[in-house]
């Protein structure tokens, strides 16, 4: 069966709604539907410029 990896970055205030949406729509009848991991993102960088995106309040 095909495998899909979904990565989502959102504000803390949006996390619960995102989790609920994934739980509601991501279930299948097959084992191994997946796991939702929650992690803080301290910073991100543009590969092209090397610029930090922290100023965007990740």
Question: What is the value of pTM for the model shown?
Answer: 0.73
Whether 6 is in a domain gets the answer no
Evaluate whether residue 19 is within a structural domain: yes
**Domain presence at residue 2:** no
Is position 23 within any domain? yes
Q: What pLDDT sits at residue 2? A: 78
The pLDDT of residue 19? 98
Q: Which residue matches tokens 């930090």?
A: 52
For residue 45, which phi and psi values (nearest 5 degrees)? -135, 140
Identify whether 35 is part of a domain. yes
**Which residues, in sequence order, are bridge partners of residue 45?**
52
Split into its structural domains, the chain has a count of 1
Q: Which domain, by its residues, includes 26?
A: 12-56
* 1 located within any domain: no
Give a yes or no: residue 36 inside a domain.
yes
- pLDDT per residue rounded down to tens, the chain (58 residues): 678 899 999 999 999 999 999 999 988 888 888 999 999 999 999 999 999 988 766 5
Residue 7 lies in a domain: no
């Amino acid at each position: 069966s095909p495998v899909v990896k979904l990565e989502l970055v959102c504000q803390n205030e949006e996390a619960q709604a995102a989790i609920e949406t994934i739980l509601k729509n991501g279930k299948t009848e097959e084992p191994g539907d997946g796991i939702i991991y929650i992690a803080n993102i301290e910073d991100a960088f543009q590969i092209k410029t090397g610029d930090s995106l922290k100023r965007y309040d990740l």
